[in-house]
Each structure stands twice: as C-alpha cells, then as structure tokens.
Structure 1
C-alpha cells in the first residue's frame, strides 16, 4: 500500500513531538512528509537537526501554500502552527479536497469557524481536529458509561480544571498571552474541556455566561518583583525574587520538571528568529485572563458549571455528571509535578437509588492521559474497528468548542450572556457587508 503524503503547516514544538516524531518512527510505513511550511526559517533548521531523515524536504513560507500544494501533491495537510494561522491552512486544504488534521483549537474566532464550516460543506476532504483528551482511557470509559445509560439523560455537569504554576505560567511566557494569537485561554486551552463535555453528553452548547479576570499574571500580579516590561527569564536580573521562577529552579540552575510537555523543545530562544518563549509573565502586553467561572446551556436541557484557574499548586480536575438515573464523579491530579502523594484516578458511579460503584480503568502510556498514541493510531491507521462509537472530532465539534470559548471571554467582557449562534451571525453580517455570501448552521 502506498504511503500517504503529508505537508505540515507550522513546524512547532507540537508538530515536532506530536506528529513528526511518530510519523518517522511508529507510522513510517504509512506516512511520508513531503513539505514543511513556516514563517520562521530557524524552525526548519531546528527540525532538520532533530530529525535528520527530513533533511532536504522542501520548505515553504506562508505565502507559498498554494505552491507547496502544487509541487508536493499531498494527500493531507497537518496544521500545527500558532492558533490564529490555522484557519487559512484548513480552508486552503479543504478547498483542494484534501484531508486536514488540525491541532486544537481548530481556529480562534467565530468568523473563522464560519469559514471552516463553509469550506468543509463544499469539500471532498475531511477535517479532523485532534482533541486527544477524548482518547484518555478514563475519558472513554466515562463516555461508555453514558452510552450504556448508567446516568440516564444528562441534566448537569460540574467541571473544575486546575493548571499548576509551571504549566499555567508557561502560557504567559509565550505567544499565547496575546488574544490575537490564541483567542485567549478560554479558546486555546478550554476548548479541550468544552469538547470533552460536548462529546460526553451528546448535546450542543447554545449559550454561555461567564466572569473572567487576570488575577496572577500581568503587571498587576501581586507576585511581580518589579513593574518593568521587556524582561525574559533567561536574562532577568530579578528572577531570584520571582516565586514562579524559583518554584522550579535554584539560584544556579533552571529545572525542567518531570512530565513536562509544555515547552521541552522551546526553552532555547535560538530555536526562533525574533521570538523568545521565555517572556516575563508580568509583562503589560498580556491581554488575556487567567481565571474563569462560567455556565453553559445545552440544546437538550443540560447545564455546565465550569471553572478554570491557571495558577494552582497542582494540576488536574474535578468532574461530576448528573443524570436522571445516576451520577458520575472523578478527580485527577497529575503526579509528575505534585508535591504530595497522588492516589489512583478512579470513576465513582452512584445510581440515583442504590449503592456506590468504584470503577478502575487500566491506564495507557503516553501524553494527555494516554490519549496521544491512541488518537495517532486513528489518524494514521484508520478508526479502531473494535470501538463502537464515534470519537474523532470534525469541523462541527471544533467549531462548537471554539464558539463556547469565545462566548465565555466575550460574556466576561460584556457582563451578559452570549448565544453561540450570534457569534456566527456576527461573522455572516461582516461577510455580507464585504460582499460575500452567508452560511447558517
């Protein structure tokens, strides 16, 4: 069987670790990388250094996307660059009737959601959004319990997510700290969480109301040693006074914590041109929030109570799903950076009338709770024939997660509920005003 040919748009840390390495190793009999596209030539050099087998692979700048497609004739496009760039490459790939694999978030705005939905509806290709949290064994077992009818019709969900001081601070050191790049963390990060809930309960979000704030980071952060812009961790003169830096370092050595999937390939500024991934977490250019509390209403009556905090002593989440026949509870604490003993994660099931059942789930190795290797198998080998339910996310799932995230930060800004459909209507009206057509979902 002939290998499937791929081009990669955005030679990022994520592209290197999540796609390129396994494509060259585990899936080399099924994959061939025929082109790389990025705005920064240093990323190509870093990629070739890490993966000598790719040396000589054609490279392209963003304006050369069409040229890359014409010259390399790929079967599929992988999109893994800065979030705001996703839409152009997704739409471009679909317009060429190619399959597209996109990192989450699919895009960053309702306007770009509409562009992708339009392109998907007119394409012979298919978009796959890599929501790898779906594939964690704990998360798939929760889905199975709901499909088995154990909780009945889902009525409410409580989800509280905690990002620790290392992982949380990393977003404010890098390009994610600007809303124009990432859509804010309710889009960049929380789309993971919203997609999980949407998929678990099989309902579509309609409306969100939220509060959001910048409590920890930015120039007003209470732990900011000095109000001064332009600092970088690698050269900062006041970092011995920075609690966030010193939590993971000593005075003589910076420490990369165990289980670090955040920026293991990005800690060296010389991997990039004109960009440093170690910006000060207290810089005044930060324009996103680090804390949210929100409620989301769904089309079949369920309600989600959601919160996320990006500066917590440990990483993990608490989940409860209530239904007409019972309740599911689980709690995860990531062990790698926790400063205390972490118990095994289990699922507790409580029938509405009856005794508690504790469910133990066999763990899997790999990132994102064992989800990364499993989603890669589906992407490069095809869907698992032993799985009896849909798990891979497409354009609609990607859009619903992004629209929820955008509704949340816009609700926090406007202090009023935001309907997800209004975000698409806004983009339609803007398109009509520019002379384009309209598309409704």
Structure 2
C-alpha cells in the first residue's frame, strides 16, 4: 500500500513536467492510502473524479473530505460517490482538518484559481479539471503560487490519452509527413451538446471565459501537444448570432416555458433522473438552474469562433468552433514538408453511426468498465505517392478511452516511461487557455495578441 501511494505521489513530478523535481521534493505521509479531497460536486466532479476513482482504486486512495457551497447537493454527492468521509462548506476548514495529499478542484471555471492557490499555499498538491482558469490575471496568480510552493499543480487533460489522439502524435513524431507547416482544425458541437453550454453558467463570460476557454482548451492542448511547440500570436473572429438575444422566443427555463410545445430545443430535465437528482433537487439552495433558456438575454459568449495561431516554430494553425452543428465531431489536417495527415471523429458521412446525436455526448461521458470497441482511420498521404490508411482500435466511452488511461497513469503506472509525453502540468494548462484568452482579446481589440504579453511565461520553440 505504502509503495503504491509513493508511486502515485511521484507521478505528480512527472505530470508537472515543465518543472520536473526529484522525488525527494515530495512528502510521503504515513498512511497507506492516498488522502484525497474534492471541492465542487457537479457532474464531472462526482463521476470522473469521484465515483470512478473510488470504484476503480479503493486499495490505493480514499476520500477524506468533500466540499461544496450547496449542502443539499453535497449530501447527494457523498451518497453517489460512495465516500465514507465528512463534508464541508468551508474549503480552508476541510484542508486543515483532513490534511489531504491531493486536492481535486472541479468547481465553476471562474473560481478554480481560488482553490488552486489556497491549496498550494496550504502545502497540498492540486489537480484541477480543465480549464485551469479563465483569464490572464488569474493564470499569473496561479503561476506565482506554484513558484512559491514546494507543491505542484496537475491539469486534468484526458483527450491526449485516447488511442486515436495518441496515434496521431506517434505518426507526426515519427516524421510521417516531415516538418509541420500548417494545421487546419474544425470542431463541431451539435444542437444537443453545444446547446447545453448555453443553458448553464458556461454561457456567461464572467463564469466561463467563453467557450474559447472552457471548451477550446481541450482542443488547444491537443494541438500544442501534437505540434510540439507553443503558441506565439493569435488573431481571431467571433460573434453571438444564434443563441441568446437572437432567439425568436424565450422563457425563464424549459420547465416553465410557454413555448415548450413549439421550441425545437425544449429539454425536459425531469426525464433524466441523474441530472434531476444532481441539480433540480438542490436548486432551492443556490438557485442554480440547469435548464435555463438558450435564448436568455444574459448570454454574452460567442457561438461562432475562428482563430489563426502562429507557433514559435512557425507552424500556422487555422481553428474554428461551431456550436450549433447538426452533428457532433471534428476534423484535423496536418500539412508537412513530406505530405499530409488527415484525421476525424464522428463525421456521419464517413460511416453509419450506431447512436443518435442526442446519445453521443452521454456515451462519451460514460465511465463504464466494458467499452464498445471499433476501428477508425487516419489518412497519411506522402508527396508523389498513394495515400495510406492507418487503422486505429477505438473506444467510445470515457472520451474515447482517454479517461481511464489518464487515471491509470496517475494511480497505477506513474513511473512507466511515456514515449508520447502525454503528461500535463501548469505550463500545459496555461498555454492552452492563453490561446483562448488571446482570441477573446483579439476579437475585442481587433488586432493580433502576443501570448508573451499575457503572463510572464514566454513561449518556447519546442513545447518541453
């Protein structure tokens, strides 16, 4: 038990690879299991960072505290996770009383920084759900806090760990298309998943930093990792043209709306028992409404976005995010000096899908142990040759198999070398959000934004 716990704690130094430290830099306590606390009991917190951890690694870790400002939801979270631990409304009090080895932060994006910084100051390693934070000032404060602390921050990027994303990395790394020149990346959110962001706090800039940060941080992290360089300059366009004030009709929320019989976006939250039990049953405490109207006036984020990013190695990225597509999926194309690599996920015209668009996001978020397997393709087309189709064995649930692989790296095989450098620390978290932050500033100021002007992290030509 103690050896396993020691191995886990050593992984923090590897995950924080931008500032790798010797193993002696980390404190190894006397208990046999890793002591974890969780702050923020929304869906991602209680499923991926809660129940799945406890169900999968009960001999390695234990929850010693759960924290949330909503006491009613907190009680449900404890029951759902199956944790035998005290609950707290005050974060500082929880950390003082439980003395955890690791703090997991899964609160609203705009206050991630509060718990990250306080956790580091109180002598704990911290793992935060993406995005690390929402603006450059909070980002700088986190950077400063880690510098002052002898502890480290992990950012929970999971897409890197899917077999499909890893195969793309392997092909580029092995010089399949030569030196990268440019990348085209297009992400499509459908009218189920995409719309869900506009129902919640994510639709308001002050809470999420916009989908440039909350959603695109996933994409920018993948791109930084695939390209193996860091962003230098960003120019972007964006607007709100579909959701929010653009809607033809609106109500307080779906349950009470007068237009529920005519609105194509009507969603009966009470039919989803898990969501009802997690949110509706506790909204009387903090008035967090999960089925807000998509067309409410308070929405002020963008619903269409396009950016051009120049990397320090001179690679140019063309990126776009659509939030009301009829289907959910993505495409990426890498142009190199020796050829071109094309990859995609969930494009319905490429093959017949076995699930509907309504089911797609739920399937991706599942944390089941038995995953449906199938094969996807990547195209490698070298100059003056016929293209080659590379087959990749795939999984649908858990973000394409990335979720469980990230957990296994953290808790089971932290000391095993990784040829694809999938580990992510503070610098990775910062560089992914800084692209989105710069994109938002570029739209507002109508000019290119230098990444190096946002914080004291200066972009490197090679990522690590």
Question: If the TM-score is normalised by the length of the shorter chain, which range does it land in?
Answer: 0.7 to 0.9
Match of 1:191 among 199, 214, 217: 217
What residue is the counterpart of 1:155 in the other structure?
Answer: 181
In 2, distance between residues paired with 1:93 and 1:22?
23
RMSD: 2.4
Secondary structure of residue in 1 paired with 2:69? coil
Could you give the per-residue CA deviations for residues 295-317 of structure 1, whole angstroms, max 9, x where no partner exists? Answer: 00100000100000110000001
Q: Which moved more, 1:166-175 or 1:40-49?
A: 40-49
Q: Which moved more, 1:409-418 or 1:309-318?
A: 409-418
What residue is the counterpart of 1:297 in the other structure?
Answer: 310
In 2, distance between residues paired with 1:268 and 1:65?
21
For structure 1, the 5+ residue unaligned runs are 426-438
What residue is the counterpart of 1:363 in the other structure?
Answer: 394
Secondary structure of residue in 2 paired with 1:406? helix
What residue is the counterpart of 1:431 in the other structure?
Answer: none
Q: After superposition, where does 1:419-434 map in structure 2 within 5 Å? A: 419-424=450-455
What residue is the counterpart of 2:18 in the other structure?
Answer: none
Secondary structure of residue in 1 paired with 2:170? helix
Say whether the 8 Å CA contact 2:331–2:345 is kept in structure 1: yes
Deviation at 1:97, TM superposition (A): 3.5
Q: Which moved more, 1:403-412 or 1:40-49?
A: 40-49
Say whether the 8 Å CA contact 1:130–1:392 is kept in structure 2: no
Q: After superposition, where does 1:169-184 map in structure 2 within 5 Å? A: 169-184=195-210
Q: Which moved more, 1:64-73 or 1:403-412?
A: 64-73
Could you give the per-residue CA deviations for residues 327-385 of structure 1, whole angstroms, max 9, x where no partner exists? Answer: 11012117433499xx9531001112322110111113532111111111122224372
Q: How many residues align?
A: 408
What residue is the counterpart of 1:27 in the other structure?
Answer: 57
What residue is the counterpart of 2:331 in the other structure?
Answer: 318
What residue is the counterpart of 2:38 in the other structure?
Answer: 8
Q: After superposition, where does 1:76-87 map in structure 2 within 5 Å? A: 76-87=102-113
Matched, 1:49 2:79: yes
Say whether the 8 Å CA contact 1:314–1:337 is kept in structure 2: no
Match of 1:269 among 272, 280, 283: 280
The TM-score with structure 1 as length reference comes to 0.87
Deviation at 1:72, TM superposition (A): 0.3
What residue is the counterpart of 2:427 in the other structure?
Answer: 396
Could you give the per-residue CA deviations for residues 171-212 of structure 1, whole angstroms, max 9, x where no partner exists? Answer: 111111111111111000001000000001111001111110
Match of 1:65 among 63, 79, 91: 91
In 1, distance between residues paired with 2:294 and 2:49?
29
Match of 1:217 among 217, 240, 243: 243
Deviation at 1:387, TM superposition (A): 3.0
Matched, 1:233 2:291: no
Q: Which moved more, 1:349-358 or 1:91-100?
A: 91-100
What residue is the counterpart of 2:297 in the other structure?
Answer: 284
The TM-score with structure 2 as length reference comes to 0.83
In 2, distance between residues paired with 1:287 and 1:40?
26
In 1, distance between residues paired with 2:91 and 2:134?
20
What residue is the counterpart of 1:350 in the other structure?
Answer: 381
In 1, distance between residues paired with 2:193 and 2:93?
38
Secondary structure of residue in 2 paired with 1:239? coil
In 2, distance between residues paired with 1:154 and 1:11?
41
What residue is the counterpart of 1:432 in the other structure?
Answer: none
Say whether the 8 Å CA contact 2:194–2:324 is kept in structure 1: yes
